[in-house]
């Protein structure tokens, strides 16, 4: 029964870096017995380069153009669960497009937890300074808070909001999400 939840549509998981999109997306697709795509992994495979290398060679603008192009292709050709990148909701037009092409979910995590989860990561170029080292925590906190607040009005347009970053395991969060999706499509 569960697998019919996503029949004929995509489930797009959005939210800031570190909210659990990739982790939860994979588990959700397993539970729903449908295909899974991590948009970042897909961009990396398609380009034959890591995300940090794409940022280094083409800048953030180059990455955003690729990300947008791939996302539009995915809307046409893919069916299943898609874990977006934290910046995939680039503008209102893309939000509207995703909502027309699937069920948009916002993983909402308290900002301090996001920061704790991602501050040491070296695979997310936005967290690194010009030499490629992790930014000083206070500088990172200030920059990311601004970015989070700028993106929030786009994330919040998702019809389904899942709170993550509490004391629940990813598996428990997925169970809650499945119930929310079920109620949404009923
Ligand atoms: N429910 C959870 N409890 C504890 N840690 C989690 C949970 N969900 C995700 N994480 C951890 O948070 C980090 C970021 O998760 P990830 O799935 O990469 O997020 P995103 O794709 O949104 O950036 C990872 O280290 C992951 O293991
Ligand atoms: O928020 C962002 O702009 C980004 C988030 C990353 O994905 P995650 O949200 O999965 O970390 C990845 O797409 C890239 O590093 C840029
Ligand atoms: Mg991810």
In the chain, the largest separation of any two C-alpha atoms, in whole Å, equals 51
What's the chain's Rg over C-alpha atoms? Answer: 16
3-state secondary structure of 44: helix
23's CB contacts (< 8 A; 6+ apart) are: 170
Q: What is the pLDDT of residue 6?
A: 57
Q: What is the pLDDT of residue 4?
A: 56
**Angle between the N-to-C axes of helices 111-118 and 137-155, in degrees from 0 to 180, rounded to the nearest 10:** 130
CB-based contacts of 138-144 (< 8 A; 24+ apart in sequence): 140/115, 141/115, 144/16, 144/17, 144/111, 144/114, 144/115
Q: What is the pLDDT of residue 50?
A: 97
- Domain layout of the chain by residue ranges: 10-178
Name every protein residue with a CB atom under 6 angstroms from any ligand 2 atom: 17, 21-22, 40, 51, 85-87, 124-126
Look up the pTM and report it.
0.96
**Angle between the N-to-C axes of helices 51-77 and 39-47, in degrees from 0 to 180, rounded to the nearest 10:** 110
84 DSSP 8-state letter: -
For the CA of 67, the closest atom of ligand 2 is 13
Separation of alpha carbons 72 and 52, rounded Å: 22
Q: Which CATH number fits domain 10-178: 3.30.70.20, 3.30.70.100, 3.40.50.300, 3.30.1280.10?
A: 3.40.50.300
Q: Which residue ranges in the chain fall short of pLDDT 50?
A: 1-3
Whether 19 is in the pocket of ligand 1, judged by its Cβ within 6 Å, is yes
CB atoms within 10 A of CB 89: 23
For the CA of 125, the closest atom of ligand 2 is 15
């Amino acid at each position: 029964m569960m697998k019919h939840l996503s029949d004929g549509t995509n489930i797009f998981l959005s939210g800031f870096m570190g909210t659990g999109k990739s982790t939860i997306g994979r588990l959700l697709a397993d539970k729903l017995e449908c295909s899974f795509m991590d948009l970042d992994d897909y961009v990396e495979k398609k380009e034959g380069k890591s995300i940090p290398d794409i940022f280094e060679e083409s800048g953030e603008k180059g990455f955003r153009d690729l990300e947008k192009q791939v996302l539009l292709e995915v809307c046409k050709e893919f069916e299943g669960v898609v874990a977006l990148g934290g910046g995939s909701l680039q503008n209102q037009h893309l939000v509207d497009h995703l909502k027309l092409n699937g069920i948009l979910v916002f993983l909402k995590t308290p900002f301090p937890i996001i920061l704790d989860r991602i501050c040491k990561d070296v695979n997310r170029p936005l967290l690194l300074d010009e030499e490629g080292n992790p930014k000083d925590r206070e500088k990172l906190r200030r920059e990311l808070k601004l970015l989070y607040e700028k993106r929030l009005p786009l994330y919040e347009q998702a019809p389904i909001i899942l709170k993550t970053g509490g004391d629940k395991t990813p598996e428990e969060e997925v169970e809650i999400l499945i119930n929310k999706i079920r109620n949404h499509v009923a």
